Amino acid sequence: MNDPRLVLFALTALFSIWAVMARSLLTSAIMLALVSVTVSLIFFDYGAPWAGVFELSVCAGLITVLFIGAVSLIRSEEEKHPESRARFYALPLAAAIFAIAGWFYLPPFFAEMAGWARPGTGGGTIGLALWDMRRQDLLGQVLMLAAGVFVIKSVFPRRTEK
Amino acid sequence: MSSFAMEWYLIALLMFIGFYCMLVSRSIVRQLVGLEIVSKAAMLALISAGYWSNNLVFAQALLITMIVIEVVVVAAGLALLVKNFRLHGSADIWKLDSLKG
């Protein structure tokens, strides 16, 4: 069993519980960034550096900045009308119940699922996969980004004087 | 127990935490936090499956697409949140009923 990777998985679960339970939305956003950092470390441990770099720069960087920007815009309202915390405090209990109940059913199922894998050749580089074999995906990604820009543009239209 | 089963067990736990957050919270920001956690679990499942089936290159290519989609979804969600907050002064999903007939 690969112990460092399992420690990173456990840290990811811990930070995500913290992100859900945090009273302040700002703390929640920062904990989410830490979740992204641990996830990217897991990617590096798997031997997937490209995924790790993208996760670290985009998810831990850009998305955190977006979250912090949005939270700072709505913070006054959140402080005036905070949510009821009782259901969030029940999360460790609910997660423990899920973990104990799942312990009996999930690992045997996943162990069986591991046998379904059709091992690939493992050859090629990420450049070959992205630029040659999955070139259409890049067009899809560009269109997706354009759709995102269009959403932002239509949600915040420029006001024109009549 | 194999490493694969243990890792996927923890991924399932992570997914449960994200779904729980989306289920119990009324704040749009926390809904998006829950969505992010679920998405992280899905990414880990994708890379783990790629690793164990010796197809890590394709898994990474797919994951990069997934990250782009995730960024757009979060940006659109947060833009809608800010716009709704400016119009109605609230970030509560139960108050998103201005289109109700």
Contacts of A155 in chain B (CB under 8 A): 76, 79-80, 83
Look at B40 and A54 and tell me if their CB atoms are within 8 Å: no
Q: Nearest residue on chain B to A36, judged by CA atoms?
A: B40
How does pLDDT run across A105-129, given as a tens digit for each residue? 998 888 888 888 788 777 778 888 8
A27-46 residues touching B, CB cutoff 8 A? 28-29, 32, 35-36, 39, 42-43, 46
DSSP secondary structure letter of residue B94? G
Residue B89: pLDDT band (50, 70, 90) is confident
Q: Is A5 on the interface with B (CB under 8 A)?
A: yes
Same domain as A131, residue A58:
no
pLDDT score of B93 = 84
d(CA B58, CA B66): 12
Q: Nearest residue on chain B to A69, judged by CA atoms?
A: B78
Question: What pTM value is reported for the model?
Answer: 0.91
Q: Scan for tokens 């945090």, then name that residue.
A: A22
d(CA B15, CA A95): 10
At B30, list the tokens: 């926390």
d(CA B32, CA B40): 12
How does pLDDT run across B52-72, given as a tens digit for each residue? 888 888 889 889 989 999 999
Which structural domain range is residue A147 located in?
124-156
| Residue B23: pLDDT over 90 | yes
Contacts 24+ apart (CB under 8 A), A141-144: A141/B64, A141/B65, A141/B68, A144/B68, A144/B69, A144/B72
Domain-embedded: residue A108? no
State percent of chain B over pLDDT 90: 51
Axis-axis angle for helices A64-80, A25-46 (nearest 10)? 150
Domain-embedded: residue A115? no
**Out of B36, B75, B76, whose CB is closest to A32?**
B36
How many domains is chain A partitioned into structurally? 2
Q: Is A54 on the interface with B (CB under 8 A)?
A: yes
Domain-embedded: residue B66? yes
pLDDT score of A158 = 79
Look at A28 and B30 and tell me if their CB atoms are within 8 Å: yes
pLDDT score of A124 = 78
| Residue B98: pLDDT over 80 | no
Look at B1 and A107 and tell me if their CB atoms are within 8 Å: yes
ipTM (interface pTM): 0.91
A99-128 residues touching B, CB cutoff 8 A? 99, 102-103, 106-108, 110-111, 113-114, 117-126, 128
Domain-embedded: residue A102? no
d(CA A66, CA A152): 13
pLDDT, mean of each 10-residue run, chain A (162 residues)? 84 94 91 95 92 92 93 78 80 92 90 82 78 82 91 84 66
pLDDT score of B67 = 93
Domain-embedded: residue A52? yes
Which structural domain range is residue B24 located in?
3-91
Higher pLDDT, A13 or B4: A13
CB atoms within 10 A of CB B1: 12
- Quote the radius of gyration of chain A (alpha carbons, Å): 21
Higher pLDDT, A32 or B91: A32
Q: CATH no. for residue B66? A: 1.10.287.3510
d(CA A41, CA A48): 10
Domain-embedded: residue A117? no
Same domain as A30, residue A78:
yes
pLDDT score of B71 = 93
The arithmetic mean of pLDDT across residues B84-100, rounded, is 82
pLDDT score of A88 = 85
DSSP assignment string, A23-71: SSHHHHHHHHHHHHHHHHHHHHHHT-HHHHHHIIIIIIIIIHHHHHHHH
**Chain-centre distance for alpha carbon A63:** 9
- Partners of residue B27 on adjacent β-strands: B92
Look at B57 and A117 and tell me if their CB atoms are within 8 Å: no
Q: Is A51 on the interface with B (CB under 8 A)?
A: yes
Same domain as A71, residue A19:
yes
d(CA A129, CA A109): 31
State percent of chain B over pLDDT 70: 98
How many domains is chain B partitioned into structurally? 1
Average pLDDT, chain B: 89
Cα dihedral: A66, A72, A74, A76 (round 10): 170
pLDDT score of A2 = 61
Same domain as A146, residue A86:
no
